[in-house]
Amino acid sequence: MILDKFWTKSYPEGVRSDVACEHKTLLNFFDYTFAKYAKDELSTNMGVTYTYEQIDHISQNIAAWLQSLGIAKGSTVAIMMPNVNQYYPIIVGIIRAGMVLTTINPLYTGRELKHQLNNSDAQAIFILEPFCQTLEKIIDDTDVKTVVISSIGDLLGTLKGMVVNLAAKHIKKAVPTHNLVSNANYQVTDFKTVVKLGQPLPYSRPVIKPDDLAILQYTGGTTGMAKGILVTHYNVVVATAQFEEWFKPIYKKITHDGQTNTIIALPLYHIYAFILMLLGIRVGQHLTLVTNPRDIDGFVKILGERPFHIFPAVNTLYQALLANPEFKNLDFSQLQLSLAGGMAATPATAKNWYDTTGLPIIEGWGMSEGLGVGTANPLINTEYNGNIGLPLPGIDIIIRDDDGKVVGIGEVGEMCIKGDNIVTSYHKIDNSEFFTEDGYLKTGDVASMNEQGYIQIYDRKKDMLIVSGFNVFPNEVENVIESHAKVAECSVVGVDDELQGQSVKAYVVKSDQSLTEQDIKDYCKEDLTGYKRPSYIEFIDELPKSTVGKILRHELRKKANQ
């Protein structure tokens, strides 16, 4: 049985097998880090930089203002914004006020927004003005009593902020009109007023225990309504400590003068970016916030403004950058780490990234239920290997079959995980089906572990196809098809088949318009056994994706079976 954490023997030199947290709550965590790095730069967005001390002061003003509203300690407060400078002080202020934070995807529809606000019992929301129209449609069907509206330029300085706000409204037409104003049901104020009003107000530091709720995080909701995850203060501080331990070898490699610069282009409402942001704060990094990473031309310009050292992304974002002709002209001399998470990096993308930057993509795996912390390859690896690495310090992973029995080395089953960063409960739903009797979280990922402890993921359990009794993992088929020179992207789903149970269908985005269905079928014959080859191929201009860049297989599955 896999119980002795034998994989720690494969850890890089100097990385411990477990972690100890000097800070048990986020309040202590923030107090310590903001004091230690007070004069250092914390974040830059749209060319405007704030120090740790400045973010510290703004967050305390927000915390004092929230407490003045009379909202009970432990109440939920939401934030619905992209990556902008005000994100940091708002989330820190909410937690410092003794409230529970819930982060919301700013591109949610009214239906999705209403579900999260109601499911989380949110009492207040901080929202960027372009998304107010969505909130206006559903706010009367929620318990939200306080709305704080922020303009995109609120923390860009007086002159630049005014220019940016005017451009957003009148040139880019990015701010739909809305009529969110104070009434008998809820009060509306603006972000700048909150910061100003909070400055003279007294702040009362709440008594917080390690197992108190800090965050009500919601899963991506790609297969239905999002589930709420109950994240404690200790869950979060442990997760940052686990990542810090694993990052030790890379910090030794960064020998430049000044701060380490991490690129935060993935949205902060997503756990992957959120925990890397907190890791950066834990060790005093500078964080470059990218508000709109889909603007690849603009993104490349941002990357050229300041040397960058750590670059976390998802496969689709790596692909988009590599397709930009200006990207290859950037200076990659100080880049030390390219992290892939959220979805599997494809071999073709990894090769192109290495050829362009001289660095491999280092893959890991995590889920919202573990604050993004689960497994990772050693960060000093020099090449992409296609697996998700080793369980991180303080993590225990076992592979179980459908009967719940632990399988042997190299055998395939469902990956189950345990650790102090792993949540133990979901919000307002029965938890029994998600955990084993001995406390492991069932991940839903089909995987195997080798003799050194490295884990190979084959696919999500729910995404696995069964063709004539054989298991087919979409990722394997996609990797083969995407290695074709004329293919830009691909996603594979199963379609109902009376004879085989399911057949394989591939949705393909061309990079060369001369590509034909027969080209792909002939290509697959070289690397895929018969039952894995796509029976159906459909060319598509663009694959449906979440705002994080994950391909939405459920939409393609629905389309394929209509």
Residue located via tokens 């990015």: 174
* Distance between first and last Cα of the chain: 44
Q: Which pLDDT value is given to residue 2?
A: 43
Q: Which pLDDT value is given to residue 221?
A: 42
Reply yes or no on domain 30-208 having CATH 3.40.1620.10.
Answer: no
CATH no. for 465-561: 3.30.300.30
Query: Using an 8 Å Cβ cutoff, are 247 and 379 in contact?
Result: yes
Q: Which pLDDT value is given to residue 343?
A: 67
Q: Do domains 30-208 and 465-561 have the same CATH topology?
A: no
Q: Which pLDDT value is given to residue 314?
A: 86
Give tens-digit pLDDT for 267-294: 999 899 999 999 999 999 999 999 999 9
Query: Using an 8 Å Cβ cutoff, are 441 and 425 in contact?
Result: no
Q: Which residue, among 211, 220, 248, has the nearest Cα to 11 in the 3D structure?
A: 248
**219, 332, 402, 515 from 474: Cα distances, Å:** 22, 33, 20, 21
Residue located via tokens 């018969």: 530
Amino acid 521 reads: K
Helix (H) / strand (E) element for 460: namely strand 455-460
Query: Using an 8 Å Cβ cutoff, are 340 and 209 in contact?
Result: no
Q: Which pLDDT value is given to residue 126?
A: 98
Please list the ranges in the chain whose pLDDT falls under 50: 1-2, 221-224
CATH no. for 6-21+233-419+439-460: 3.40.50.12780
**What DSSP string describes 360-393?**
PEEEEE--GGGTT-SEE--TT-SS--SS-BEEPT
Please state the domain extents for the chain: 6-21+233-419+439-460, 30-208, 465-561
How far is residue 122's CA from residue 78's CA, in Å, rounded to a whole number?
6
How far is residue 241's CA from residue 23's CA, in Å, rounded to a whole number?
10
Q: Which pLDDT value is given to residue 256?
A: 67
Angle, CA of 128, 133 and 135, to the nearest 5°: 75
Sheet holding 228-232: strands in order across? Answer: 187-190, 146-150, 122-128, 76-80, 100-103, 213-218, 228-232
Burial class from Cβ neighbours inside 10 Å (0-12, 13-18, 19+) for residue 381 reads middle
Query: Using an 8 Å Cβ cutoff, are 489 and 316 in contact?
Result: yes
73 phi/psi in degrees, rounded to 5: -55, 140
Q: Which pLDDT value is given to residue 220?
A: 56
**What DSSP string describes 72-94?**
PTT-EEEEE--S-TTHHHHHHHH
Q: Which pLDDT value is given to residue 223?
A: 39
Q: Which pLDDT value is given to residue 3?
A: 53
